[in-house]
Amino acid sequence: AQSVTQPDIHITVSEGASLELRCNYSYGATPYLFWYVQSPGQGLQLLLKYFSGDTLVQGIKGFEAEFKRSQSSFNLRKPSVHWSDAAEYFCAVGARGGADGLTFGKGTHLIIQP
Amino acid sequence: EPEVTQTPSHQVTQMGQEVILRCVPISNHLYFYWYRQILGQKVEFLVSFYNNEISEKSEIFDDQFSVERPDGSNFTLKIRSTKLEDSAMYFCASSGTWEQYFGPGTRLTVT
């Protein structure tokens, strides 16, 4: 069965500092990987996705993520965080897109210090 | 930019009552999904729907749940006899191919 692990429940970063959120997945075939962001009281917004090809993918709001098959990881990064980045971040894996549901990690709560 | 919409934003119901949560997916999308998120927990897949039938469902999606696409635009989740543990945020999503776009959610509170 597929699974996603986000080892950090909370991360605190100073505004302007760099950010890396960790995500490890378990899946038997080629994974389709996603990062979503959820602001308080809001739905899930897709930040970026990886299907194939270049292992470094760019997303919205200045985020990027790198797929490392050997480490089964898909870590999210941002070079300089803004206060508005404070939110809950979810990594998710899907089997083949289409009708398959996504499996989400438990999320990482990002706190931005002024 | 097209988006998934959900109504109502908040639904309060008594245990044992039936509720219908409504979603309007993005118009040219073919796949539709329901997920739920119990407070403080991760988002969990419930069911996917394609070509007017259920494509995949999780073990959470038991006989008390049903989904329907009653017309060309709406996608509904019915919970037949609500239990306290059904209290959660329910998200609808839709996709054209690989990317799933989520609605803002309906918070269901069962008392």
Per-residue pLDDT of A64-105, as tens digits, reads: 999 999 999 999 999 999 999 999 999 999 876 667 899 999
Closest CA to A110 of A26, A3, A5, A8: A8
Per-residue pLDDT of A6-65, as tens digits, reads: 999 999 999 999 999 999 999 877 789 999 999 887 889 999 999 888 899 999 999 999
Lowest mean pLDDT among A46-55, B16-25, B83-92: A46-55
Write the DSSP string, chain B. Answer: ----EEE-SEEEE-TT--EEEEEE--TT--EEEEEEE-TTS-EEEEEEEETTEEEEE-TT--TTEEEE--SSS-EEEEESS--GGG-EEEEEEEESSS-EEE---EEEEE-
Mean pLDDT of B14-38: 95
pLDDT attached to residue A30: 78
Q: Do B98 and A32 lie within an 8 Å CB cutoff?
A: yes
| Two tokens, residue B57 | 């469902």
The amino acid at B64: Q
Chain B residues in contact with A97 by the CB 8 A cut-off are 95, 97-99
Res B68 pLDDT > 70: yes
Q: Which of A32, A51, A103 sits opposite B45 (nearest CB)?
A: A103
Mean pLDDT of B35-39: 94
Q: Do B102 and A103 lie within an 8 Å CB cutoff?
A: no
3-class SS of residue A91: strand
Q: Which of B42, B58, B105 sits opposite A107 (nearest CB)?
A: B42
User: From chain A, which residues contact B within 8 Å (Cβ)?
Assistant: 32, 34, 36, 42-46, 49, 51, 90, 92, 94, 97-107
Closest CA to B63 of B44, B43, B83: B83
Lowest mean pLDDT among A93-102, B75-84, B90-99: A93-102
Separation in Å, CA of A99 to nearest CA in chain B: 6
Chain B residues in contact with A90 by the CB 8 A cut-off are 42-43
Q: Which of A51, A101, A104 sits opposite B33 (nearest CB)?
A: A101
- Report how far residue B21's alpha carbon sits from residue B36's, in angstroms, rounded to the nearest whole number: 12
Provide φ and ψ at A64, rounded to 5°: -140, 160
